[in-house]
């Protein structure tokens, strides 16, 4: 009903169309990653940060307004987050203070970029606190975690990081949904952390 949107579309463009989504019977939306990335065009899987909404899409206030608009129509909002790597370009966290405090030395590479050093308490806090910020400041309803198999694949501490974030969310919010893009499927990903699982609420079903 509003015609075409600019490319890339902005938070305000989506907010203007929430009535149409409600009319279609939509009950939840899953946003592809909206954290800041290099340049203006990306699917979002090359993040520069886990904290800031992409400026090309709009301001933090406009993103909050989008979430509120969807909620006002009874539509839940989940966000896709990428923890398994950072962008290989424009990576301001690389040698952040002149030393390598966010990455191993030598760096651990994934198919998409270097993986942060999950052994460091400050790095683990960086990720977990960013999750709490999205829930507290932007009132999201949950997350889809990208390529969770790659988080502990290169560093065993990645498994305990996933346990820690799920425990942190469960301890504060009983109604938030945590989804793992776990390929291949692994029943341990959705087992409770008290039983050694990663504690996710659901995971992708690869066979389906």
Active site residues: 146, 181
Give the helix/strand (H/E) hosting 134: helix 121-137
List the Cα angle 52/57/62 in 5-degree steps: 75
Task: Give the pair of three-digit tokens for residue 124.
Answer: 């683990």
DSSP alpha helix (H) spans, 7-108: 11-15, 18-24, 60-72
Q: Which of 86, 85, 64, 50 is nearest to 12 (CA)?
A: 64
Residue 184 buriedness (CB in 10 A; 0-12 / 13-18 / 19+): exposed
What is the b/e burial string over 157-169, where b = at least 16 CB atoms within 10 angstroms of the residue's CB?
bbbbbbbbbbebb
Task: Give the pair of three-digit tokens for residue 73.
Answer: 């129509």
Asked if 130 contacts 79 with a C-beta cutoff of 8 angstroms, the reply is no
Give the C-alpha separation, 153 to 36, whole Å: 25
């Amino acid at each position: 009903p509003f015609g075409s949107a600019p490319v890339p579309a902005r938070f305000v463009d989506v907010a203007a169309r929430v009535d149409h989504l409600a009319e279609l019977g939509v009950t939840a939306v899953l946003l592809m990653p909206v954290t800041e990335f290099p340049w203006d065009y990306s699917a979002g899987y090359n993040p520069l940060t886990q904290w800031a909404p992409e400026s090309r899409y709009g301001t933090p206030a406009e993103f909050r307004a989008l979430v509120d608009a969807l909620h006002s129509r009874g539509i839940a909002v989940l966000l896709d987050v990428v923890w398994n790597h950072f962008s290989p370009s424009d990576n301001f966290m690389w040698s952040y203070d002149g030393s390598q405090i966010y990455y191993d030395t030598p760096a651990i590479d994934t198919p998409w970029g270097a993986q942060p050093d999950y052994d460091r308490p400050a790095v683990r806090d960086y990720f977990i606190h960013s999750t709490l910020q999205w829930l507290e400041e932007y009132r999201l309803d949950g997350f889809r975690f990208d390529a969770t198999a790659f988080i502990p694949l290169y560093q065993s501490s990645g498994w305990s990081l996933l346990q820690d974030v799920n425990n942190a969310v469960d301890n504060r919010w009983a109604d938030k949904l945590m989804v793992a893009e776990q390929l291949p499927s692994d029943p341990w990903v959705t087992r409770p952390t008290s039983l050694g699982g990663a504690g996710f609420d659901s995971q992708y079903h690869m066979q389906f």
